[in-house]
Amino acid sequence: MLLAIDAGNTNVVCAIFDGDRKRGQWRIATDGRRTADEYAVWLVALMTMSGLKREDVDAAILASVVPAATFNLQRLCIDHFGVEPMRVGAPGIHLGLEIRINNPREAGADRLLNALAATSIYPSPLVVVDIGTGTTFDVVDADGAFCGGIIAPGPSLALDALHRVAAQLPKVDIVRPATVIGRGTVGAMQSGMFWGYLSMIEGLLTRIQAELSPTGDPPVTVIVTGGLGAQFAEATSMIHHIDNELTLRGLLLVHKRNMIS
């Protein structure tokens, strides 16, 4: 079985695949100080609850955008599962995705995996909108090549920053307000975070589509992923699909392609 690990800025997600079938998925808050032993105690306990044993794992793949966590996640695979993890971005690891940006090494592993997985399921050209710690737009052109995108702060990050620097503004939840005009401080903040971010998403998608497919033929497919993706997708017709499995599916694809090669 394959242990797939996606280390993002907010969470580390681990999944076990038996072929194409996902047998379990778990997440833990990202912390660069967490040791391989601590990861093992957490992960092995959850695997046991799902009827899985560490001996079931005979391969691993890791994608990390958090350098402080990468070493201990590698040690987790080696010391506790007895496998050397395939690492996305390492020399010799082929994604099977053409990267058409100025410096391909700048693209985050999670963004490339999202684009790779999306091209295996949805028609190109396409845009993957990932709403998490950051809000990223990953663009794939009509040829199926990753051609760049946009990076902006995520709504939760922006809300935390607003709460920290403005003494009179409370911490509020990100919800969909019934009206755009807030009738109080909390309502005004929630409107800014929800309708403001949705307007940014719709505005940027409009501009991306104008550059990517000026005539509208072929049409641009838009997929949303990330913790807040579904909440925003429900409020706009510009997002066509909700898919929170993209990164893990991308890891599975990369592992298969490199095992074959």
Helix (H) or strand (E) holding 137: strand 134-140
User: In this structure, what DSSP letter does residue 85 have?
Assistant: P
Structural contact between residues 256 and 59, judged by C-beta atoms closer than 8 angstroms: no
CB-based contacts of 17, cutoff 8 Å, min separation 6: 1, 2, 4, 23, 252
Structural contact between residues 130 and 114, judged by C-beta atoms closer than 8 angstroms: yes
- How do beta strands 241-242 and 21-29 pair? unpaired
185 labelled binding-site residue: yes
9 labelled binding-site residue: yes
User: In this structure, what DSSP letter does residue 144 have?
Assistant: S
13 labelled binding-site residue: yes
6 labelled binding-site residue: yes
Of the candidates 112, 117, 54, the one whose C-alpha atom is nearest the C-alpha of residue 256 is 117
Phi, psi (deg, nearest 5) at residue 33: -90, -10
12 labelled binding-site residue: yes
The yes-or-no answer on residue 110 being catalytic is yes
133 labelled binding-site residue: yes
141 labelled binding-site residue: no
Burial category of 200 from C-beta neighbours within 10 Å (exposed 0-12, middle 13-18, buried 19 and up): middle
Looking at 110, 138, 141, 243, which residue is catalytic? Answer: 110
- How do beta strands 134-140 and 126-131 pair? antiparallel
Annotated binding site for ATP: 6-13, 133
Task: Indicate the annotated binding residues for K(+).
Answer: 130
Which positions are catalytic?
110
Return binding residues.
Answer: 6-13, 108-111, 130, 133, 185
Binding residues for substrate: 108-111, 185
